[in-house]
Amino acid sequence: MQARIDGARLTPEELGHPVVVDAGPHVFRLEAPGYGAQQIEHSMRPEDREFPIRAVLHPPRLHDQSPVASSPPAPNAQTTPTPFPIAAVSLAGVGVVALGGAVYFGISAKHRYDQLAAECAPRCTAAQGDSVRSKVLLSDIALATSLVAFGASALFYFSAKPDAQATALSVEPRADGAYLRLRFAF
């Protein structure tokens, strides 16, 4: 990874320590092999003591790397792949499992209710009725969980931006070294 301030390249040793710059406008540029460069313009004030730099380096698009000219895409063709909606699919999976649990506990409660109705009704004890009530409660909780999970899944799926970047790398120089953060957005 390369970092430049106003065109001057910073060495890896300099990246491990705070970099002192004068007040005024500056251009910060971050580059990494296999990623497009990120340029940040910021005007430092005399009272600024710290300015952590956070940048997202985007991988180049596959069609931008091809030296061979190709025909333009069709008007309705999608040129960039859409990221896989991990959060939406995960929440939908939770919804399916919770819905399965709701059906299982609902059927189990109905079976136990019918069984008690045939054996001891109307003189069933409270302990015998508790097993039916607890299964009905578990069924209701699982059903509510599945509804919330499906709703959240739909929210994540339909509110996702198609051009959202799936990963981000941030570099933050500190007094005791550099702080690197790799984030995944989904």
Give the tens place of pLDDT for each residue, 59-103: 766 544 444 444 444 454 444 556 677 888 889 999 999 999 999
Burial degree of 109 (CB within 10 A; 0-12, 13-18, 19+): buried
Query: How many residues in the chain?
Result: 186
Single-letter residue type at 134: S
Predicted structure pTM score: 0.45
Give the tens place of pLDDT for each residue, 155-184: 888 886 655 444 455 566 666 666 666 555
Q: Which of 31, 29, 81 is nearest to 57 (CA)?
A: 31
Rounded Cα gap, residues 85 and 95, in angstroms: 15
- Which residues, listed in sequence order, are joined to residue 180 by a DSSP beta bridge? 171
Q: Among the residues of 12-125, which ranges form H helices? A: 12-15, 62-65, 86-119
Rounded Cα gap, residues 102 and 145, in angstroms: 9
